[in-house]
Amino acid sequence: HPRSCAVCTFRGQHGAVQPFSDEDASIETLSRCSSFSDAMSVAEEGGEAGEETAQEDLQYKLKVFIDSTVDKSAKTRQGALDGLKAAMATRILYEFISDRRMTITDSIERCLKKGKGPEQCAAASLACLLCIQLGSGVESEEVFKTLKPIFKNILLDGAANIQARQACATSLGLCTLVAEDDILDVYATMESFESLFMRSYVKEDGSRPSLNPQTTLLHTNALLSWALLLTICTGSQVKAVTHKHLPKLPRLLENDDVNMRIAAGETIALLFELARDMDPEFEYDDWEPLCDKLNSLATDCNKHRAKTDKRKQRSVFRDVLKAVEERDFQTETIRFSTERMTIDSWVRKRTYDAFREFVGSGMNYHLQANEFIRDVFQLGPPMLVDAATLKSMKISRFERHLYNAAAFKARTKARNKFRDKRVDVGEF
Tell me the DSSP string of 346-413. HHHHHHHHHHHHHHGGGHHHHHHH-HHHHHHTT--SPP---HHHHHHTT--HHHHHHHHHHHHHHHHH
Query: What is the spatial distance between Cα 155 and Cα 363, in angstroms, rounded to a whole number?
Result: 27
Contact, 351 vs 228, CB < 8 A?
yes
| Per-residue model confidence (pLDDT) at position 204 | 84
| Per-residue model confidence (pLDDT) at position 407 | 59
The alpha-carbon radius of gyration of the chain (Å, integer) is: 23
- Taking every pair of Cα atoms in the chain, the longest distance, rounded to a whole number of angstroms, is 74
pLDDT in tens, the chain (428 residues): 333 333 333 333 333 333 333 333 333 334 433 444 444 444 444 455 666 787 888 899 999 999 999 999 999 999 999 999 999 999 999 999 999 999 999 999 999 999 999 999 999 999 999 999 999 999 999 999 999 999 999 999 999 999 999 999 999 999 999 999 999 999 999 999 999 999 999 988 888 899 999 999 999 999 999 999 999 999 999 999 999 999 999 999 999 999 999 999 999 999 999 999 999 999 998 999 999 999 999 987 776 677 777 788 899 999 999 999 999 999 999 998 889 999 999 999 999 999 999 999 999 999 999 999 999 999 998 886 555 554 555 555 555 555 556 656 665 555 555 444 434 433 32
List, in sequence order, every residue forming a beta bridge with 332; answer none if it has no partner: 343
| Per-residue model confidence (pLDDT) at position 79 | 95
Query: What is the spatial distance between Cα 220 and Cα 172, in angstroms, rounded to a whole number?
Result: 14
| Per-residue model confidence (pLDDT) at position 207 | 85
Query: What is the spatial distance between Cα 125 and Cα 132, in angstroms, rounded to a whole number?
Result: 11
Q: DSSP secondary-structure letter at 339?
A: E
Contact, 54 vs 105, CB < 8 A?
no
| Per-residue model confidence (pLDDT) at position 4 | 35
| pTM for this predicted structure | 0.81
340 by DSSP, 3-state: which?
strand
Query: Which sign does the torsion angle of CA 302, 303, 309, 311 carry?
Result: positive
Q: Hey, what's the torsion of the CAs at 155, 157, 161, 166, to 10 degrees? A: 20
| Per-residue model confidence (pLDDT) at position 400 | 55
